[in-house]
Amino acid sequence: MVTNIKDFLDEKVHQYNTLDFIETDPVQIPHQYNLKEDIEIAGFLAATIAWGNRKMIINNAHKMMSLMGNSPYDFVMHHTENNLEKLDGFVHRTFNSEDFIFFIKSLKNIYTNHNGLEKVFSKNQTLDSMQSSISAFKKTFFEVEHLPRTTKHISDPLNNSAAKRLNMMLRWFCRQDKNGVDLGIWESIPTNILSCPLDVHSGNVARKLGLLTRKQNDAKALKELDTNLRTMDANDPVKYDFALFGLGVFEGF
């Protein structure tokens, strides 16, 4: 067991929170763009399919961008039915072309009627959490006509989900640490209320370090992990995602 966990994790953050991290991570997808809305849509879609083999995630996210002509915001706002037909056949695990087409239509609604993704996510933040906001985002996202099966691709923390992928996306968009990995394009959400993306890797490492006792990777576990990470850095607790993830994936800790 590591004796001084904070020093150990700070060292690992320093080791992994570098530009080299981008090469093997889906965060490279939004990094291709300069326009804020392009970054948002690319990041949201890449985060949505971020489960399974990382190489496959990155390849399929690049494919999504290519199908949108590598101009995601323009595609979302000005697509025709003919454009949407070109998405037929796309699949990443259980996320298929029907889901993809709905996501495009819903994103158009978000940007047309709700002032964009940042506005929707920032509206329901609380003083210590983004979890109610993620839940409210899901309601807004599915306010347009949709297939019931597609709802499984957006998590709801109020239904006890750890919402790993959306918490990861929020890290990308809200952290501004000058290291160049996270994009820091959203200023309306402070880093101190972000939650660590909790998955099998970060969860197992957190348990070995005594930062997490709950066995399931769910919303209750996330709350426990958040509480412990915030004792180490109250202003930027999710920086420790780099350490937990790096230890789990790259070092088999």
Q: HEC profile for 141-175?
A: HCCCCCCHHHHHHCCCHHHCECCHHHHHHHHHHHC
Pairwise CA distance, residues 231 & 233, whole Å: 6
Tokens at 156, concatenated: 């709801």
For 96, which DSSP code? Answer: E
Concatenate the DSSP letters of all residues of 45-61 into one string.
Answer: HHHHT--S-HHHHHHHH
Show the domain range for 128: 5-249
**Nearest to 64, CA basis, from 72, 74, 53, 56:** 72
Each of the 253 residues of the chain gets a pLDDT tens digit; together they read 455 999 999 999 999 999 999 999 999 999 999 999 999 999 999 999 999 899 999 999 999 999 999 999 999 999 999 999 999 999 999 999 999 999 999 999 999 999 999 999 999 999 999 999 999 999 999 999 999 999 999 999 999 999 999 999 999 999 999 999 999 999 999 999 999 999 999 999 999 999 999 999 999 999 999 999 999 999 999 999 999 999 999 998 8
How many independent structural domains does the chain possess?
1
